[in-house]
Amino acid sequence: MTIETFANPWPSREDVRITSVRAIATAPDGIALVVVRVDTNVPGLYGLGCATFTQRWKAVVSFVNDHLARLLTGRYPGDIGDLTRLAGFTGYWRGGPVTNNAISGIDQALWDIAGKRAGMPVHELLGGKVRAAADTYLHAAGREIGEVIEDAQRLIERGQRHVRLQMSTPGGGGYGAPSVPTEYPDAPYRNGWSARDYLRRTPALFEAARDKLPDHVELLHDVHSRLTPKEAVWLARALEPYRLFFLEDVLAPEHWDRLPEVRAASPVPIAVGELTTSLQDAVRLVRDGGVDFIRSHVSDIGGLTAARKVADLAELCGVRTAWHGPGDTSPIGAAANVALDVTSAAFGIQEGHVYGDNVHEVFPGTLRIEDGWLRPNEAPGWGIDIDEAAAARFPAELSGHDAWAAGVRRPDGALEAP
């Protein structure tokens, strides 16, 4: 679509209406992605939005197709705030990741339409750039210290200045790293994961990293919500000599009320928010002093409109953003992240993901990390399309990834956080 498509006279409010709303599920890299397409009665004018909740993607598809489509068809697509509130309030019981991902798909698709109507990229509609690009971090992992360091060195050679380090812990609980055999063969749950082992091994990883990796490279680590408040403080203090950029998700959401005390005792910046499932969850983390970085998954809190509010609050509170952006974020969601990154003074860092060739085929215009940097497209809207014929060749299927957390248990058999 070109700017000339909608050259003057512009279609008026009365002349533009939503004609259909539908969810498209596809898995070009083996991870289920959900994108919402909103069509209008203006030929060629449609929008795309990210609604990816990989673990419950079918529920999101049904929410969009069976409920929101009927609600929104016939309405004016320019009333973004009103339509997203309508989508959230009409179910009476509201909130949660299924609802908010469905709303996010609508929200981001409407922003895409708005950009195309205006002939501007979304970041210009948000007020324009305050930086040229977003710095990113990627993930390095391995079974033991040497493998992690080698993986990190490969990323640094590609231009990364920030690298997250994850190492296997016996029992399969070393998040983001391969599983390795248990050290508890006689325990009730012989493939159990032990927090004590994790706390013992992790500082050794970062000691080696600081010795082997260039000093200017920033190091990050994800706990993945598995520690008690006291364990989180112990780990943060043990990692102090290695100057981490941040320590991520130290507590489970059930214990986020303890984050202010953990943050106060931690010499390492604390990044939390990946498991926020509402705008209000994210606001409380920022407002109540629990985080140095807010890490919400944008579609889980309701989309671009909600995330803008979080970014504005973060700026006022001296908190920085680090939006969640792994492979279960669609390219549209990644574009929304970057639009927020380049337009917000609160930006801290952006989690990056290197999409495979199949994703680029299904989503023409998908952003690419170059020398560690992500730059938004300058085309109207997101500058990203979807090839539905290509998407159909990679159908989303129910798989182990939809219940990937089920196998993490402690040696005594108690179920652990994902």
Question: In the prediction, which pLDDT does 390 show?
Answer: 98
The pLDDT value recorded for residue 417 is 67
Report the pLDDT value the prediction gives residue 187, as an integer from 0 to 100.
85
* Residue segments in the chain with a per-residue pLDDT below the cut of 70: 1-10, 172-175, 400-407, 417-418
pLDDT at 170 (0 to 100): 79
Q: Which sequence positions are flagged as catalytic? A: 175, 224
Three-class secondary structure assignment of the chain: CCHHHHCCCCCCHHHCCEEEEEEEEECCCCCCEEEEEEEECCCCCEEEEECCCHHHHHHHHHHHHHHHHHHHCCCCCCCHHHHHHHHHHCCCCCCCHHHHHHHHHHHHHHHHHHHHHHCCEHHHHCCCCCCCCEEEEEEEEECCHHHHHHHHHHHHHCCCCEEEEEECCCCCCCCCCCCCCCCCCCCCCCCCCCHHHHHHHHHHHHHHHHHHCCCCCEEEEECCCCCCHHHHHHHHHHCHHHCCCEEECCCCHHHHHHHHHHHHHCCCCEEECCCCCCHHHHHHHHHCCCCCEECCCHHHHCCHHHHHHHHHHHHHHCCEECCCCCCCCCHHHHHHHHHHHHHCCCECCEECCCCCHHHHHHCCCCCCCECCEECCCCCCECCCCCCHHHHHCCCCCCCHHHHHHHHCECCCCCECCC
pLDDT in the model for residue 320: 98
pLDDT of residue 1: 45
Q: What is the pLDDT of residues 168-194, one digit of tens each?
A: 887 765 567 777 777 777 888 877 888
- pLDDT tens-digit map of 365-407: 999 999 999 999 999 999 999 999 999 999 999 875 555 545 6
